[in-house]
Amino acid sequence: MKLNSPLFPFWLIVALGVLQGCSDIAESTNQAAVTVESTEADAVRMAALRSQLAMLQQQAQRVKDANAIKRLQRTYGYYVEEALWDEVVPLFADNATLEMARDGVYVGKERIRAYFYALGDGQQGLREGQLNEQLQLMPVVTLSEDGRSAKARWRNLMLTGQLGEQALWGEGPFENEYVKEDGVWRISKLWWQQAILVSYAGGWAKNADANNGIWVSGTLPPDAPPTDDHGSWPQTYLPPFSFANPVGKYVPEAATATEAASGVQQ
């Protein structure tokens, strides 16, 4: 077609329109691709944020559970030191067990109630002039993976006695277990192992154990014998830990001696 043809401007306009249309299509395609990439990237970021949020929520719940268990055990200590047995018993699960020193194992709430009342000579509350301090110390709480149960090691420091009669020091570790029922933590296993119970006068330097770890089993027989009848002061004993060493591996002395004899090293 000649440049001076009357139709030339018309076809020029058509050509320019076609080129512009192709350019618009290409630009739209590019924009769509960018949008898809942006949407996919946003989805990945949102998934990562949701995962991080879930992890933080789980960690927060585990901290909350550990604090609830500490509160439960400390509450136990306050009620016991005031001999409030009817307040102590509800802290236990229905099928809980209790084992104190060398008395053996008592199973279920009613037997636990009977144990505490026997400990208090059949009455609730302290007598005039009676001291029964129970300090719950050094907790290490270990939660299960599902957050429904836990173990904890504590130390119980006791100052007990009766004005004008006797004063005693007592001490030993708890290795307890707990269960979460309907959102509430309860004690499922209370196991206190008596290290010493000695007269305040002269202390453990001059006195053997005052009761050899026997509290009430002479008059209230247990449902099962002691889990580990390891004797009493001045005999010493290290109860196994319910938690792993956070920076290494705990090796009992007996195992170390065996390994040394066989030439094995950890």
pLDDT digits (tens, 9 = 90+) for 178-206: 999 999 999 999 999 999 999 999 999 99
Q: pLDDT above 70 covers what percent of the chain?
A: 80
The C-alpha atoms of residue 20 and residue 33 are separated, in whole angstroms, by 20
Q: Mean pLDDT, the chain, as a whole number?
A: 85
CB under 8 Å to 8, separation ≥6 — which residues? 1, 2
The C-alpha atoms of residue 179 and residue 150 are separated, in whole angstroms, by 7
The C-alpha atoms of residue 23 and residue 42 are separated, in whole angstroms, by 28
Position 11 scores a pLDDT of 46
Which DSSP letter does residue 36 get? Answer: H
Question: What pairs with residue 185 in β-bridges?
Answer: 180
Q: Output the DSSP codes for 69-121.
A: HHHHHHHHHHHHHTT-HHHHGGGEEEEEEEEETTS-EEESHHHHHHHHHHHTT
Query: Which of 4-13, 44-53, 125-134 has the weakest average pLDDT?
Result: 4-13
Domain spanning 55-245: which CATH class is it, in words? alpha beta
pLDDT at 2 over 50: no
Position 245 scores a pLDDT of 87
Q: Look up tokens 């707990």; give the residue.
A: 178
The C-alpha atoms of residue 235 and residue 225 are separated, in whole angstroms, by 20
Give residue-wise pLDDT tens across range 138-190. Answer: 999 999 999 999 999 999 999 999 999 999 999 999 999 999 999 999 999 99
The C-alpha atoms of residue 202 and residue 200 are separated, in whole angstroms, by 6
Which DSSP letter does residue 240 get? Answer: P
The 3-state DSSP composition of the chain as helix, strand, coil percent (nearest 5) reads 40, 25, 35
Position 91 scores a pLDDT of 98
Max alpha carbon distance in the chain (Å)? 132
The C-alpha atoms of residue 206 and residue 103 are separated, in whole angstroms, by 25
pLDDT at 106 over 60: yes
pLDDT at 233 over 90: yes
The C-alpha atoms of residue 74 and residue 66 are separated, in whole angstroms, by 12
Q: Measured between alpha carbons, how far is residue 237 from residues 62, 225, 240 in Å?
A: 32, 18, 10
